[in-house]
Amino acid sequence: MPCRVRRRARVQIINFFLLVLSVLLDPDIEYLLGASYDACIYVNIKNRDYRVIYVQAELEWLVNSIAKRLERLNYRYTIRQRTKNLWEVRVYSKGFATYLLGLRSILLNLNLDPHFVAGLYDAEGDKTMRRIRIWNKDIMPLEKARRILQEYGIMSTIHLDDKRYMVYCLEVPKMFISKFIQVVPLEHPKALRSLYEINP
């Protein structure tokens, strides 16, 4: 009997991941997933400590782009000042933390759209907007962003930008910048201000 139960559980898990792979995720989840690559995800099963912490200097972005999405998805959160120049949104949720980690584990196989790229860029991208660049120590989200952009006819390259700290950079050539701005729904106030200054 226990073997049958375990086998049934494995089948259910496999079916869940097959469903996730075949269906587009909620745009809010995609955005939060992209932004999570600049967040801290803590999972301590023994102490039952599950936390997702988004940290940024721009409080407006945390409130309007992160907190409002969490509200729509019915996740409770707190906002507090971390240091003089940094703010954070904390989510104490086993479901949210494990869900994000589960999505990350199959990231390259997920069916995602530009909302993922927007979340990743708003969290880790060049806000001057004179060059389209995204940095991360994990090459996987950059590779996923590259593939998504390619589906929309936007070419990009990935290179090791900082050998000392092993930071990778995705960069979009100048000829594709205008298309990137049209396709990727950026929300970060600093990026939007920069776009206005470049094209008032």
CB neighbours of 26 closer than 8 A, spacing ≥ 6? 73
**CA 177/CA 184 separation, integer angstroms:** 10
Angle between helices 27-35 and 114-124 (to 10 degrees): 30
| Domains recognised in the chain with CATH numbers | 25-198 (3.10.28.10)
pLDDT tens series, the chain, 200 aa: 444 445 555 545 555 555 555 556 899 999 999 999 999 999 998 899 999 999 999 999 999 999 999 999 999 999 999 998 999 999 999 999 999 999 999 999 999 999 999 999 999 999 999 999 999 999 999 999 999 999 999 999 999 999 999 999 999 999 999 999 999 999 999 999 999 887 75
119 by Cβ neighbours in 10 Å (0-12 / 13-18 / 19+) ranks as: buried
Classify 93 as helix, strand or coil.
Answer: coil
3-state secondary structure of 54: strand
- What is the pLDDT, as a whole number, of residue 147? 98
Q: Are strands 157-162 and 167-172 parallel, antiparallel or unpaired?
A: antiparallel
Of 101, 108, 102, the C-alpha closest to 148 is 108
Tell the residue number behind the tokens 């950059």, with chain if given. Answer: 142
| Calpha distance 67→51 (Å, rounded) | 15
Q: Which two tokens stand for residue 56?
A: 């940024």
Structure tokens at 15: 């079916």
Residue with tokens 């559980």: 9
